[in-house]
A and B are shown apart, each in its own frame.
Chain A
Amino acid sequence: MDFVFAQFLTGLAGAASLFLVASGLSIIFGVTRVVNFAHGAFAMLGAYVAYTLTARFSGPFGFWGGILGASVLVALFGAVIEMALLRRLYRAPELFQLLATFGLTLVFEDLVVLVWGPDDLLGPRAPGLAGAVELFGQAVPSYDLLLIALGPIAFGLLWLLFHRTRFGVLVRAATQDREMVAALGVDGRWLFTAVFTLGVFMAAFGGAVQLPRDAVNHTIDLRLIVDVFVVVVIGGLGSVGGAFVASVLVSELDAFGILVLPGVSLVLVFVVMALVLVVRPFGLFGRAEAPSRAVPEPGRKPPAPLSAPARLAVAALVAATATVPLWAGDYLVTVGSEILIVAIFAASLQFIMSAGAMVSFGHAAYFGLGAYGAALAVKLLGLPMLPALACGMLLALAGAALFGWFCVRLSGVYFAMLTLAFAQIAWSVAFGWTGVTGGDNGLLGLWPDGWAASPRAFFWLCLAAAAASVALIRALVFSPFGLGLRAVRDSALRAEALGLGRAPVQWAAFALAGTVAGLAGGLFVFLKGSVFPDSLGIGTSVDGLVMVLLGGIGTVSGGVVGAVVYKALSVWLISQTDHSKLALGLVILALVLLFPAGLGGLASRLAPRRRRAAAPAVHPAVGVGGAP
């Protein structure tokens, strides 16, 4: 019993840092609608800077001054980022800022390695709080007690800020309706910068106070961002009180999960998150989202099937690609196969993202299920490659049908988070079920059948699969089913009035996209000869998102272009430099700033502008009827 109490206190102490970081993310999202993927990286940066400052200045003043100083420095850095980068992107399509902040994360990860080295750094103990206090016969670290007090104090200060100052009232108002706040004369740019700076301060402070408890390294940002997403979604986006309750909940689940169910402790948090979202789609304290900007602007030309000349051009391109193995070396051909495989993955994700406005943060689940399905079909059933690929697709279909049934009940960021939760659950199973999946060691020795064993033959197989997948997806987008999918995307209410239910249409699309992703996953296994839990990990999901966003979310198959550019670039950068993340991140940032509509969107962005200049005025009655 005493031990349980001590464990409870450990959980509470962990909640403080989680709450600080999560409330920062929540505040930023509430006002700017930016899902700040770099939030974990800002927390990591706070910890690193605090490490340096507290090492230089000793004593209580040095320690606490170092932690606060680090938070302020990182917050100022955040303000610069907001003004130089994000400010240019607020009018870009929703989630494009996500791509920018992902690029930032890559840059930060490599930068901290350059500055602080790759090893774990252990911070100093807090002066005067290095010992432990005996409570009910258990030694509880004094610093934990301080953190336990810090959580509610920070919550109280935030509450005062939001309810007793005009700045706080403006923030709350902007969280509900930022257009109206601007229409009342408040300069939104100033407010956004202030809010972003405050949010980054919370992140950096949350990262810095963990310094005496946990070692810092350059990978904690990803772990943190996932934890923090979970907290914010369970609590309800934009709700600081929700973030407080959820951070305690998540932290306690972590603390006790290890005791009660050591095997599945990794999954526990995500199972709880999935349950919360199924019961309360907007989190414990959240509210239905304001209508998002994902709705296409009126007057934008809907995508059209390719014209006959364009079809010929694509056919010629595919034919030209098919000649690659005839003149390129094995290495290049193998890289080419990998690019084709990720292109299939990106195309499947783009199908639900662009035509369905379903932004999945967990599409890797179906890539990975396809991979493990194919691998297990070989290992357990002894099947040859093609039936094994089919098994992989079946497993991906089953997974997508099961998870998708829950996910399509949500939309927007909550949908994204639930897909992430399911993907993490799938990852945990692959990671933890060592007997079947090999756990972290993966499954090895999975090579293609003889007829496809040469890099050249496998390339052609991948090319055929990619061409067929993209053609199928395009055909679907322009089929009656695709029209229905776009109809429920643009106006679920009107579609439902026509007898077209949102959930069934989106569910079918989700399951189909999962199946195609499963094909990519299966092919990937035979390309690499192995499968690891990484294939279901958040890294793979984010890669897919980046490819689609790079390609242009407003296009039908820009993701294929994005996949080719992104994968080729990352393979090339890894071969050229030790700091490939830094370079890749900078390239992403440059692309984001230069082409805010994506690479694929560039062409379609230029075309209508030329047409618009010459377009005769549309009849005035059109468009007015629906306008407020």
Chain B
Amino acid sequence: MPDVRFAPADLLVPTPYRVVERVRELDDVTTLRLEPRGGERTRVNPGQFNMLYAFGIGEAAISVSAAWETGRGLSHTIRDVGMVSHALSHMEEGAEVGLRGPFGSGWPLDRAEGRDIVIVAGGLGLAPLRPAIEAVLARRERYGRVTVLIGFRSPKDILFPRQIRDWRERPDVELHATVDHSAADWRGHVGVVPTLIQRTAFDPENCLAFVCGPEIMMRFSAQALLGAGVSPARIHLSMERNMKCAIGHCGRCQFGPHFVCKDGPVFPLELIAPILSVREI
């Protein structure tokens, strides 16, 4: 009988992780810091995601919003939008969740070395970009100009405000945050995040752009980056589709010929440009 080859069990079966800290970021956004119960810490690349399981309720794909290196546990930032994310958002500290992962491609940080980096985040899209920003700042000397452009709905929807302030204060980072809607008491920018791209100085010939946010925001940001002279091979987007298995077997996350779970979620625009604006693909 031939050798029987198996997928590692931990890709199919969750590992118990303990909630070591729960942070209420916004009205409907929560960050869970998780530690494996007795297990080993798995390396996670910025931009990868995990499948988090709420006991008896179900599983959801959640971006890793901070890697081990930056503090206690592995952070997952969750928006309370469905049954599973609601249950996860309300996990008590000390409770356990199941975790499978990490899955998917991350941001191409290695390829970005020696180049300018333009990070464009919209809303909760900042979550999977935060580990990338932190990784870049930890090895700041390896990169050229670092530009971080962040858009939110309104001032009260700003995610990770303390970190944004820390990044803004660094002389070696150009950071602009903007909101779509605001009253006059807001002192920052008002306007959609693509408008920031036009106002920012970076080398379009020698940069990499990482974009994450709602799909419309990513499409318009990609347009603005193209307009600024950045080639589609240098623009990377993190896509979202329905996911169940996360290993390319359930077929649900197909985006044209691509599986978002294993070929993505981070894709170069060059690869997905032909289908990005096709409706209902």
The answer to whether A and B belong to the same complex is no
* A positions within 8 Å CB-CB of B: none
